[in-house]
Amino acid sequence: MTTDVQENEGPDILKEWVGKARVYEKTFNPELYHEVQQFIFREARLQDIHDYDAWEALWTDDALYWVPANGTDTDPERQMSLIYDNRSRVALRIRQLKTGRRHSQTPPSQLARVISNFEFLTSSNDDIKVMCNAQIFETNLRGDTMWAARNEYTLRRIDGVLRMAYKKVVLINNNKAIYTLSFLV
């Protein structure tokens, strides 16, 4: 346990961006690893192909979809985030996209994302906590854009099926000026 914390110790400026120390799971469960990976691959595909309803259905009722700005572990209750959606705001976001008049997604971005570096975090309850990296290629009317992020999920098994309770997307350049981000990240 303590070694994980120590790994991150150093002058403040060196860990300013990576945020607070996270505690990674030491044991490895291949079946769960496979199942979680398949879930997140599917989520990525639903985002890439703009299957809004199917993506929305992945969420639990207590959903929190968070894309912070200006750091990794900012306080979203005090600081501006790019996205800080509860379940009803996720639904609003989807409803807007589905009007066909969300101009920044009309025509929709063409997307392909690669998800990798899955690691489980220790969890104090039945929730499954997992970290992974995402790289997204976007092309739209403006041109081509590369996005990179560290993602953090909380997944929950409901009636035997995995659902998403929490998704945090830490864009690597979230302290810089970034182009419009209106596809589902």
Partner 1 sequence: MMGVRFILVMPAVMVYQFSLYEGGMNMDGNQISRWDELIRPGMVHGSLYSDEAIFKEEVEKIWFTTWVYIGHESEVPEKNDFVTKSLGPMPVLMARDSNGKIQLLLNRCPHRGNAVCVQEKGNRARFTCPYHSWTFSNTGDLINYAFPEGYKGVDKSKLGLGKVARVASYRGFVFGSMAAEGPTLEEHLGGAVRTIDQLCDNSPTGEIEINAGYLKHRTRANWKFILENECDGYHPAFVHSSIFSVSSSAIGDLYGDKAVAVTRAFGNGHTEVDPRPEFRRRDAPMSWFGTTSERLPEYTKQMNEAYGDKRAREIMIDGTPHVMIFPNLFIAEIQLFVIQPISVNESIQHSTAIQFKGAPDINRRLRQQTMGSVGPAGFLLADDTEMYERNQRGLEIREPEYLFLKRGEHRERRDEDGYLIGHSTDDLPSREIWKHYRSMMEAT
List residues binding partner 1 (CB under 8 A): 13, 67, 69-70, 74, 77-84, 89, 92-93, 95-96, 99-104, 141-143, 175-182, 185
Rg of the chain over CA atoms, in angstroms? 17
Considering the complex, what minimum distance in angstroms separates the CB of residue 151 from partner 1? 15
Pairwise CA distance, residues 144 & 2, whole Å: 43
Considering the complex, what minimum distance in angstroms separates the CB of residue 105 from partner 1? 8
List the one residue out of 170, 153, 167 whose CA is nearest residue 70: 170
Q: Which is nearer to partner 1, 45 or 102 (CB)?
A: 102
CB-CB contact of 174 with 164 (8 Å): no
Q: Which is nearer to partner 1, 6 or 180 (CB)?
A: 180
Pairwise CA distance, residues 79 & 96, whole Å: 25
Considering the complex, what minimum distance in angstroms separates the CB of residue 21 from partner 1? 22
Q: Which is nearer to partner 1, 84 or 118 (CB)?
A: 84
Q: Which is nearer to partner 1, 44 or 130 (CB)?
A: 44
Give the containing element (helix H, strand E) for 181: none
